[in-house]
Amino acid sequence: MDNRTSGKKRNVKVNRVIEELCKPPAWHEHEHNRRFANVFLPSRHKVLECVEELRQVMFPGYFGYREFRTDTQGYHIGANLDRALYTLQEETRHALRYVEGRQFPGSRVLATPDQTEHVIDSFLETLPEVKRKLMADARACYEWDPAVTIPEAPIFCYPNMMALTSYRIAHELYNLGVPFIPRIITEHAHSLSGIDIHPGAQIGEEVFIDHGTGVVIGQTCVLGDRVRLYQAVTLGVKKFEMDEETGRPKKCVPRHPVVEHDTVIYTGATILGRITVGHHSIIGARVFLTSSLPPYSIIFEPSASVASVKKAARERAKALEETAPEDESLV
């Protein structure tokens, strides 16, 4: 068999494979056809470029162009912000057009394409508050990590700040009803930092994630202020609430833990289900927890009795209350 005959046979096979690859799965046929009717998904590449522009806006001089003076800083921030918002508006419009008119299970409300400009304007107004929270996160990293000796290091070098920056940007877009883009942002940060934060999670201020590799924070998690997490901590689901009609998990129902303020969770701890870990608690390494704990709980042994931990926490809280100084304003 000569090369020409072999090539013709291969071409027949290639054409057959191409034909098969062009067929959408039955459950996805409608969505597949939308991509060929001038309705496009957002560009992942452009979204991530936008995030890098916003990172330069939040931390001028740390990323991107460095050689500017204090008196020209505003021009530098303005140029980056203008590019970021223009790109974000275009990609948000694509995302909203793609899902326009479709019904999705769950309670999350998406914006509509004609609301794109309003969405971006609303996002713009959140940026000063986002920066304030990020600076508080960076300060927490400096104060709680003994390895950090230079205050600027967390912003410039540490994976927790990279993940939190992406999360806080994505979270605002998520709250504004933007599909696709928030998850693109946080999953990219996950791939680079090893820290998996769903954009729907609610995270307080001055949060510190040490090392970070393997940390998982689910969609409906709630973290209070000054929570500290160490590597490989999972804040996940114990079991799914099933839809009686479909037999599949319900969407967007609260199913992840609530961790109150000033709580520390050490390496490899796993906390599952919609339970509450009370404020000022300490969860030790490798602890597996599926029951709520009151404030001031301390549990270090993975096999520790939850009942004994709760009893000790109540006693600790009572002792703290008895030793607390009287509020002079009430006298």
Out of 195, 223, 253, pick the residue that ends a domain.
195
Q: Nearest 5°: phi and psi at 223?
A: -115, 130
Total residue length of the chain: 331
Q: Is residue 238 part of a domain?
A: yes
**pLDDT, tens digit only, all 331 positions of the chain:** 556 666 677 788 888 888 888 777 765 655 555 555 667 899 999 999 999 999 999 999 888 777 777 788 888 899 999 999 999 999 999 999 988 877 776 657 788 888 999 999 999 999 999 999 999 999 999 999 999 999 999 999 999 999 999 999 999 999 999 999 999 999 999 999 999 999 999 999 999 999 999 999 999 999 999 999 999 999 999 999 898 888 899 888 999 999 999 999 999 999 999 999 999 999 999 999 999 999 999 999 876 777 788 888 888 888 888 787 665 444 3
Residues 92 and 180 reside in one and the same domain: yes
Same domain, 133 and 101: yes
Residues 134 and 237 in one domain: no
Q: Which domain holds residue 220?
A: 201-325
Are both 136 and 165 inside the same structural domain?
yes
Q: What is the CATH number of the domain that holds 303?
A: 2.160.10.10
Assess if residue 5 is contained within a domain: no
Q: Give yes or no: residues 191 and 205 share one domain.
A: no
In this structure, the answer to whether residues 46 and 144 fall within a common structural domain is yes
Domain CATH code at residue 130? 1.10.3130.10
Q: Are residues 126 and 229 in the same domain?
A: no
φ, ψ of residue 293 in degrees (nearest 5): -125, 145
- Together in a domain, 181 and 226: no
- Please state, in angstroms and as integers, the Cα–Cα distance from residue 291 to each residue in 203, 224, 242, 271, following that order: 21, 18, 21, 9
The H-assigned helical ranges of the chain are 3-22, 29-34, 44-58, 73-99, 116-144, 153-157, 159-175, 181-193, 306-323
**Contact between 239 and 219 (Cβ < 8 Å):** no
Contact residues for 193 (Cβ-Cβ < 8 A; gap 6+): 159, 160, 162, 163, 212
**Do 52 and 100 sit in the same domain of this protein?**
yes
CA distance 218 to 200: 8
Q: Are the CB atoms for 248 and 284 separated by under 8 Å?
A: no
Output the CA–CA distances (angstroms, integers) from residue 164 to 77, 141, 171, in the order listed. 20, 12, 10
Q: What is the CA radius of gyration of the chain?
A: 25
Among residues 195, 223, 255, the one where a domain terminates is 195
DSSP single-letter state for residue 43: P
pLDDT in tens, 167-213: 999 999 999 999 999 999 999 999 999 999 999 999 999 999 999 99
- Classify residue 44: in a domain, yes or no: yes
Are 188 and 237 within one domain? no
Q: How far apart are CA 217 and CA 302, in angstroms?
A: 20
Domain count, the chain: 2
Is residue 22 exposed (0-12), middle (13-18) or buried (19+ Cβ within 10 Å)? exposed
Could you identify the residue written with the tokens 């940390």? Answer: 215
Domain shared by 168 and 49, yes or no: yes
User: Do 72 and 142 fall within a single domain?
Assistant: yes
Query: Nearest to residue 115, comparing CAs of 134, 97, 133?
Result: 97
